[in-house]
Amino acid sequence: MIFMYFKRLSVITLFSSCFLLPPTAALTQEGEYEPGLVLETCELVVPGTPLSAVGECGWMNAAENPDEPEGRQIRVRVARVPAHGRTTEPDPLVFFAGGPGQSATESWPIIAGALKKVNESRDILLVDQRGTGQSNPLKCPEAELEKALASDWDDLAKTTRECLDSLDGDPRFYTTTIAMFDIDAAREALGYETVNLYGGSYGTRAAQVYMRLFPERVRTAVLDGVVPQTLALGSEHAAKLDQAIFRVLEGCEADPVCGENFPDSPGKLSLLMQRLEQAPVDITVEHPTTGELFPMSFDRDVLSSSLRFLTYSSDTQAMLPLLIHEAAVEQRYERLASQLLIAATGLQQSISQGMELSVMCAEDFPLFPENPGPNNYLMGDMLEKAVRIQCGVWPRGRVPENFHEPVTADVPVLLLSGELDPVTPPEYADRVATYFPNSRHLVAPGQGHIATTRGCMGKIVSEFIIAGNADDLETDCMSDLQATPYFISLTGPTP
């Protein structure tokens, strides 16, 4: 889950009744399904990267408003990566992407390598959650970085309304619960009786909602970067970011080489926060895609957003003491600002902001505290302020009355956490594990957000899915996992 607000550039990724979609007809012949789900060879591409995978893609029709099955229809993108081994098991792996707002078909290639063992014997089922990818995407017009960075808080309601007016869809019908009926319709159309679930970040919420709605269909579930159903996603982001950042900086203090080169990194960060709060600095940075130079103001918002994205991965956490030292001592801010611009550019390509707001405003905003007290977190009240402005504009869909009650199930569940995750820390998975009596929680040492792609974690996940339980998992290899050594210069960690 990513949640960033910076001036006019707003990307929020956190992240009663039951809605039913019309039934989907059964398999009619090999490779073709009613109504109109025909799979053809396709390439699954991660936008803006060379990563890709080969699959089979098709389209499925679904009612936008489930209460009006004969009303407006939307097309839902469905893809399958067929098992490539000699033996194919009947229960595929269903992949739930993060965000909210990321596409399953566009995200799968990122994690495909880690789970290639699963794909030997099992199909991979990918459904772009409605509002994302190619499933009637609710994507806001891209703002030019220069204009976005020059705007202020007063512009946010206006640009949110402009996004809303540009969308081809009613945001009230793009919630997690409604989307899970699309997922199950794809399962039924492709003839699968039971499935295995893998959800990362916000995808863990989607997977839990699917488990509650269709418990008889689930064989196993993997939740990586776990979001408790009881949590208002985003309401604790500022606190958890500080928790992760200061643990990383305190680790530098304890490291002889890092501590000697960058002493008192926590103190430097606190001083830098105060300095930029009082006096933002005008700088010139290079556009991450065009290479052109443009001026911008480096203030506390830019600092917090830059550091937040750097804290998601162990590899970039290792750069924090160096970059904070550059800014606090040498008063050089350009590299930190560049991190924000790179992240913002990538998110504009991969996130459907309208779907993101549809989920957050319906499912999370109602649980936000009405009068949050002052705090001294790096991000301050930036997130709460952005949420209140945008959700004051955005139409809010219905969610079931029990939506935020914990999900419980007897199926085998594997929960994964990164020890230094800044958004879904290990204590979240501990909380969720109490409701899954047949579960196991593994914490990847020194890692950030999403553990499956790190070291041997993908191998462990694959063994769990193949075996169908966590009883005999071989986890000794996790002792080889550790945080990336601290960067002492831009050439990389000390050998």
Q: Give CA–CA dist 132/13, Å, rounded.
A: 12
Q: Are residues 319 and 444 in the same domain?
A: no
Tokens representing 15 are: 């992240």
Domain count, the chain: 2
What separation in angstroms does the CA of 77 have from each of 126, 187, 456?
8, 13, 32
Residue whose structure tokens are 């950030």:
448
To which H or E segment does residue 489 belong?
A: strand 487-489
Helix axes 156-166, 353-363, angle to 10 degrees: 110
The residue from 349, 369, 384 where one domain ends is: 349
The residue from 333, 349, 365 where one domain ends is: 349
pLDDT tens-place string over residues 316-338? 999 999 999 999 999 999 999 88
Q: Is residue 371 part of a domain?
A: no
Q: Are residues 228 and 262 in the same domain?
A: no
DSSP string, 229-271: TTS-TTTTHHHHHHHHHHHHHHHHHHSHHHHHHSTTHHHHHHH
Q: Are residues 108 and 76 in the same domain?
A: yes
What number of CA atoms fall less than 13 Å from residue 476's CA on the CB side? Answer: 2
CA dihedral 472, 476, 478, 480 (to 10 degrees): -160
* 148 band by pLDDT with thresholds 50, 70 and 90: low
Residues 6+ apart with CB under 8 A from 60: 24, 35, 36, 37, 75, 76, 78, 182, 185, 186, 189
Domain that holds residue 312: 237-349
Asked whether 209 and 228 are in contact (CB, 8 A), the reply is: no
At residue 289, the pLDDT reads 75
CATH of the domain at 463: 3.40.50.1820
Tokens representing 130 are: 């409605």
Q: Are residues 64 and 140 in the same domain?
A: yes
* 221 band by pLDDT with thresholds 50, 70 and 90: very high
Q: Are residues 205 and 300 in the same domain?
A: no
Residue 16 forms beta bridges with which residues? none
Q: Are residues 213 and 314 in the same domain?
A: no
Per DSSP, the three-state class of 323 is: helix
Q: Are residues 198 and 257 in the same domain?
A: no
Q: Are residues 22 and 114 in the same domain?
A: yes
Q: Is residue 379 part of a domain?
A: no
Q: Give CA–CA dist 239/128, Å, rounded.
A: 31
At residue 7, the pLDDT reads 41
Helix axes 265-278, 320-328, angle to 10 degrees: 50
**Residue range 187-200: mean pLDDT, rounded:** 97
Q: Are residues 210 and 289 in the same domain?
A: no
H helix intervals, 333-490: 334-350, 353-363, 382-391, 426-433, 457-467
**Does position 145 have pLDDT exceeding 70, yes or no?**
no
Selection from 101, 77, 95 nearest residue 3 by Cα: 101
pLDDT tens-place string over residues 1-34? 443 334 434 433 443 223 223 333 333 333 444 4
Question: What's the pTM?
Answer: 0.92
Helix axes 237-254, 382-391, angle to 10 degrees: 160
To which H or E segment does residue 223 belong?
A: strand 218-224
Q: Are residues 185 and 125 in the same domain?
A: yes
